Structure 1
């Protein structure tokens, strides 16, 4: 009976073929509940719409995307259409180090049509244990140029644009975010909070963005996904978390080290989660990190999240505001 479920036969035709002794209705119900039936009869045939080379390249990914369609997680009926949505998208990765490199490689492998990379640094020997885009031969080279070459080699079907640039304000990002569908902030200098603020202002009010990411010791910060006009914005997050761990009354002290410790496996774990979140946004699948602040504790391997509500009085995204960041308004920042 299973071999007859190829999308070309009616229920009645299958029933006649297997005979009245077979509990067809019960079996179909079980297969449906177990999500073993697809909306597409000839799966490989549907892949052909992408062309032979692309269909072969994305074969396993297309099968997963089809599963999402069959489960009703998207408004599209076929995995090919989801892949085409990803193919048409543009992603910006700010910073291609320990996190950004993993994010960029995953986006390229997934077939994100255009990937824009931004970084000002050069490859150092100490980068190689955790920054997956670089090899020993790249030491001394521009990070964005070495990263761009690696991504183009990984997937010939994507376009990679490189911007060798230090980000110091929202203005430095204006041309990168123009026309983008998602921006992932992985810049940590001068601080992740500063750079996330700049990215947020550059993206507002049109471009989805993932902010606050990073890692320290055994904590990987997944941050939050901002969908402008739909979820809590970066101003909401900062207001909600400002007093965490006594930050509002902390004194500045000298750290015990100049640089934080890191290991490739942990950077890869955080980077892969962020890439998966970005792919969900690009494909039109429900995001997992929006409306919350999330961190992963590497020691017990637990993800911890706290809800971040969208604040009605938020000067950025609150009701009655014009959707323009406070620093961009003629009257200056609104009070918080």
Structure 2
């Protein structure tokens, strides 16, 4: 990093006792640094993007007679490696066009805020998205929002699969369709909308119902991630189990969103974490006998479907970019009638599980 500068989202603050808080204010607090001699604060002030590292080191040595050049380099190096600092004189990679740079600038700002790994130019996450291939199965309330977000975010190729037609009852929450689409195949209407959102993304699709684990295995070949937004068939041998087994064997990460009335959740799975079947077994063992753990049902609003899809899309983007870092094998979500109820479930893989154990 040649010209370090503190990221604007992580502007530091100094308290009366000399402690430095860095990481984005009250709700973005990420680190506290004890700085009894003032070395760290002085280094942060010098990191304005106009100085190279050695200039900052010399500036510290001029200001403090009790700091050696070696100590100054250690302070500056630790701040650079912390992830709260970026290279001010960065340039976007040539693989991105001018229109892509303009379109995805807010993406870059988001990833810059969240990512604490030192990067060369800050567009690394976007480049991963551009080269990625995502499969979206199901284009209903969850799937429509998921597909829209993946296309808008710049995932290079998004392939959509659904067998249904648009019905009037879909229009209370399914974002890709309007009244003129009633009676048309969902995938046809969805492709028109999605291609109009982002012409730089390859958006493809097929009208197809996934009827077996073998069919799903054929579909996922060649994709980097699966967004499972279909909920049928349900049950202990249903589509989520198929996804768990198929993706587990191929080491393909996947996310599956769902809702049950006001409860909105997403499950995130992949190498290194418990599979869906292990997570389900862990919940069944924890809950009173007979308590259902499946999500689903007719109760859904536009906000609950939208949240379900956006949670799923966020999980997919994180799985593809590594920003934020995701440790798969959990379910998270919210309860829309209880703001204090945050869902978070994680269990260890079962010993001997053929998928993840």
Same-fold status (TM-score > 0.5): yes
CA–CA separation in structure 1 for the residues paired with 2:193 and 2:170: 15
Q: Deviations over 1:102-135 (max 9, x none)?
A: 1111111111111111110011111112111112
Using the alignment, how far apart are the partners of 2:243 and 2:83 within structure 1? 42
Query: What is the RMSD of the two structures over their aligned residues, measured on CA atoms?
Result: 3.4
Structure 2 counterpart SS, 1:300 = coil
Equivalent residues of 1:184, 1:209 under 8 A apart = no
Secondary structure at the counterpart of residue 144 of structure 2: helix
CA distance in structure 1 between the aligned counterparts of 2:103 and 2:151, rounded to whole angstroms: 12
Q: Give the corresponding residue for 2:26.
A: none
1:277 aligns with 2:323: no
Check if 1:232 corresponds to 2:274.
Answer: yes
8 Å CA contact 1:196, 1:211 repeated in 2? no
The alpha-carbon deviation at position 137 of structure 1 amounts to 1.9
> 1:175 aligns to what SS in structure 2?
helix
Offset at 1:96?
A: 0.8
- Over 3 Å counting, the alpha-carbon distance change for 1:204 and 1:49 in structure 2 is closer
Note the 1:75-224 alignment, pairs <5 A. 76-191=119-234, 194-210=238-254, 213-223=257-267
Preserved CA contact (<8 Å) 2:278 2:348: yes
1:310 aligned onto 2:356: no
For 1:42, which of 81, 84, 89 is the aligned residue? 89
Residue 9 of structure 1 is matched in structure 2 by 52
C-alpha distance in structure 1 between counterparts of 2:181 and 2:304, whole Å? 22
The answer to whether structure 1 residue 242 and structure 2 residue 281 are counterparts is no
Q: Deviations over 1:273-303 (max 9, x none)?
A: 1111110110023555723333421112332
How far did residue 215 of structure 1 move? 0.9
SS at 2:176 equivalent: coil
| Structure 2, unaligned runs of 5 or more | 1-43, 65-71
SS of equivalent to 1:99: helix
* Structure 1 match to 2:304: 266
Please, what TM-score do these two structures have when normalized by structure 1? 0.77
Instruction: Tell me the matched-pair count.
Output: 301
| Structure 1: gaps of 5 or more residues | 251-257, 319-336
After superposition, what is the alpha-carbon deviation per residue over 1:156-197, rounded to whole angstroms, capped at 9, x for unaligned? 111112021111111222332001111121112232751101
Distance 2:234 2:162 in 1: 15
Note if contact 2:132-2:156 (Cα within 8 Å) is conserved in structure 1: yes
After superposition, the C-alpha distances for 1:50-83 in whole angstroms (9 at most, x for unaligned) are 12111111111112223344x22x7x54321221
Tell me the distance in 2 between the aligned counterparts of 1:279 and 1:40.
24
- Kept in 2, the 8 Å contact 1:97–1:131? The answer is yes
Q: 1:240 Cα deviation (Å)?
A: 1.8
**1:201-241 Cα deviation digits (max 9, x unpaired):** 33231243435531112211323x2213x111122123223
> 3-state SS of the aligned residue for 1:50?
coil
Residues 247 and 159 (structure 1 numbering): CA distance in 2 closer, same or farther, change over 3 Å? farther
Counterparts of 1:165 and 1:227, CA distance in 2? 25
Distance in structure 2 (CA, Å) of the matches to 1:2 and 1:51: 34
Q: Indicate if the aligned counterparts of 1:92 and 1:117 stay in contact, CA closer than 8 A.
A: yes
Contact 2:226 2:253 in 1 (8 A): yes
Normalized against structure 2, the TM-score is what? 0.73
Q: In 2, are the aligned partners of 1:93 and 1:185 still within 8 Å (CA)?
A: yes
Note the C-alpha offset of 1:13: 6.6
